[in-house]
Amino acid sequence: MAIRKWAAIAVAFLAACSQSSPRVKPAPSPAIVSHSPPAPVPAAELVLSTAPWTLDADPGTVITTANYKIFTTSTKTSIVENIPPFMESAIAHYTSALGELPHPDAAMEIYLLGTRPQWERMTRRLMGEQAETYLRIPKGGFSYDGRAILYDIGRRDTFTITAHEGWHVYTQRTFRNSLPVWLEEGVSTYMEGFRWDTASAERPTFLPWANFERFDQLRWGVRSEKLMSLDALTKSTPQQLIAGDPDAALFYYAQVWGLVQFLNEGENGIYRDKLRRLISDAAHGQLVPRIRKELGDRAASTYTYRRRGVDIVHLYFGKTPEEMEPQFRAFLDTVVKTGTRQQIYQGKSPLAP
């Protein structure tokens, strides 16, 4: 399988202060579902092997699980012991939360460094002449070529960004066609939401609504009227926005999080099956052929190289972004209305009665 050679930079979830908080079938009303593995394997049994690993002179460990090789120099027990069950729960979430998706056919790589200087050295080692672009990331990490390169930024934020970048690594390794940028980033934020399982403190329960960072930024964007139009949102990239105005990038990530929630639950679920079809088509290599069939070779070529330039919203959902805008804005108004933050805390849909 050819790895998708595009980078995904994740810094946007750091906009709001972190809070220590704590295959669905189509239905006429939104379903609230936990996507954790139904019969979890004890965390210790998830680790197939550990071995010494060094970054220059700094000692570390490589931890092998069924789906990951995790290279870490962290000395924090709360990270080293919890990252294997976290990532194995994450891959179960990635492959089931928005429809049944294929599992990777080889171990994916996560580099989780203990400090920023170590992360900078690893970035230079892996990215070579391109490293300077990534070293400008103020806090967080990135994924490229089927690897995530991250560092410890505090327990909650570290696991959040690992869930975010883990989705990028998964699609880079597994998908035969790339998702459009807005959807790739939207799903990665959708995959961030989790709470630690009260019955097993070492394992997360993934709840896509349990995401204070995105929710608070989205609420601020709605109330301050700083959100982009849906048309502009689907034509932008976070890299462009980060270069011009970091605040705009933060609103972008919050808004694409809201967009995926809308396509999954909005309008009584009328777009849910189409969202799953789009993601499945990308996973199985049927997205670009559909573009070619319906829009022509030039559109397919443009999309292949840019992941933009084609109105995927209209192609898959039957409405242009301009036509869908009123529904989307009404959905966002409902999501951020007074009193919904308690439902976000519980990981529940703000649309639920």
pLDDT in tens, 325-351: 999 999 999 999 999 999 999 999 999
Q: Report the pLDDT value the prediction gives residue 24, as an integer from 0 to 100.
A: 28
Euclidean distance between CA atoms 310 and 198, whole angstroms: 44
Q: Consecutive sets of 10 residues in the chain, 353 residues long: mean pLDDT of each?
A: 47 35 30 42 78 96 97 94 95 97 96 97 94 87 94 95 97 97 97 86 89 96 94 88 76 96 97 98 98 96 91 97 98 96 94 81
Q: Report the pLDDT value the prediction gives residue 243, as an integer from 0 to 100.
A: 67
If you ran DSSP here, which 8-state letter would residue 97 be given? B
Cβ contacts of 232 within 8 Å, gap of 6 or more: none
Query: Hey, where are the domains in the chain?
Result: 7-346
Pairing verdict, β 7-10 and 141-144? antiparallel
Three-class SS state of 103: coil
Euclidean distance between CA atoms 148 and 207, whole angstroms: 22
Q: Report the pLDDT value the prediction gives residue 138, as an integer from 0 to 100.
A: 84
Q: Report the pLDDT value the prediction gives residue 89, as an integer from 0 to 100.
A: 95
Q: Report the pLDDT value the prediction gives residue 8, as an integer from 0 to 100.
A: 55
Whole-model pTM: value is: 0.88
Is residue 112 within 8 A of residue 68, CB to CB? The reply is: no
List helix spans (H) across the chain: 43-46, 77-80, 83-94, 116-127, 131-135, 155-174, 181-190, 212-224, 230-233, 238-244, 246-269, 272-283, 287-295, 297-306, 312-317, 321-335, 341-346
Euclidean distance between CA atoms 46 and 291, whole angstroms: 41
Please classify residue 294 by burial: count the beta carbons closer than 10 Å to its beta carbon, then call 0-12 exposed, 13-18 middle and 19+ buried.
Answer: exposed
